[in-house]
Amino acid sequence: MTWKTVLLLGAVVGTAIGCHGDEATAPEGTAASVDVLDYAFSPDSVTIPVGARVFWEWKGKAVHNVVFDENPTQLRSAGKITGSYHRNFPEPGVYTYYCEFHGREVMSGVVVVE
């Protein structure tokens, strides 16, 4: 089985069960990981293939969340200090997000899906 097959299978399974989660480690099929630090996402920009997943892991001491501009009431993580969140990206595009506790000017990021 090639890595592309594994990545695709992970994306398909993840899409079937939902777009987000709270796993303690990056789920299989994750194409990029982002650390949620105090007042920064690191890295603040990632590029992934269509169908892949991005995993955010909280590593700071302040409360943060991940809120996507395209649908902020539905595509968001809970506000928290520890834990994780992941989202699958089945369509190409540019997806911007931010932490609503600290604002877009302080804490924002982008996922580019090609």
- Give the tens place of pLDDT for each residue, 70-113: 999 899 999 999 999 999 999 999 999 999 999 999 999 999 99
Q: What average pLDDT does the segment 10-19 reach?
A: 38
C-alpha 52/C-alpha 87 separation (Å) is 9
Query: In the chain, pLDDT over 90 holds for what percent of residues?
Result: 72
Q: Where are the alpha helices (DSSP H) in 1-114?
A: 3-17
Q: Is the pLDDT of residue 69 over 50?
A: yes
C-alpha 31/C-alpha 51 separation (Å) is 9
Q: Is the pLDDT of residue 23 over 80?
A: no
Q: Is the pLDDT of residue 22 over 60?
A: no
Look at the block and give the residue holding tokens 């609503």: 100
- What integer pLDDT is reported at residue 18 of this predicted model? 40
Model confidence at 51, pLDDT cuts 50, 70, 90, reads very high
pTM for this prediction: 0.76
- Parallel/antiparallel/unpaired status of strands 52-58 and 67-68: unpaired
